[in-house]
Structure 1
């Protein structure tokens, strides 16, 4: 079981900032799970789970795509 480290969380924050997403609106569990996900929780916060088998840096483009899709879906609601 791999655990996300602070430098990796900071990398995720750079994507959030670029997309204008508040850190307060995000939950990042400490445990990594494949394939890595982003989803909207019932309380409207976004949960971001980092992947275990890939580096967070390599996964950031995927994360940005997932977040853009989630944000577009929220805008349509």
Structure 2
């Protein structure tokens, strides 16, 4: 169980979003984990990435890019 997001996890998240062309300034990563983790767009337009608390971080990080792409997919494609 991951109770708090550290620099190690943030760097891993950046390793996913950087190649996607997402600015680090456009992302909010709360330091508190939650179950379930989630990816959402905040009212201010920023991408919020909440890290999964109960599952394995390594498993969760492998799903992050797909979660982001699904979220950002235009509604017409959904």
TM-score using structure 2 length: 0.85
Report the Cα distance in structure 1 between the residues aligned to 2:45 and 2:59, rounded to whole angstroms: 27
Structure 1 alignment gaps of length 5 or more: none
Alpha-carbon shift at residue 53 of structure 1 (Å): 1.3
CA RMSD of aligned residues (A): 1.8
2:31 aligned residue: 30
2:64 aligned residue: 63
Alpha-carbon shift at residue 4 of structure 1 (Å): 0.6
**CA deviation string 1:4-32 (max 9, x = no partner):** 11101100001101211100000000000
Report the Cα distance in structure 1 between the residues aligned to 2:6 and 2:24, rounded to whole angstroms: 16
Q: Is 1:8 matched with 2:9?
A: yes
**CA deviation string 1:17-49 (max 9, x = no partner):** 121110000000000001210000111100000
2:47 aligned residue: 46
Larger helix share, 1 or 2 = 1
Which 4+ stretches in 1 moved above 6 angstroms? none
Report the Cα distance in structure 2 between the residues aligned to 1:73 and 1:53, rounded to whole angstroms: 30
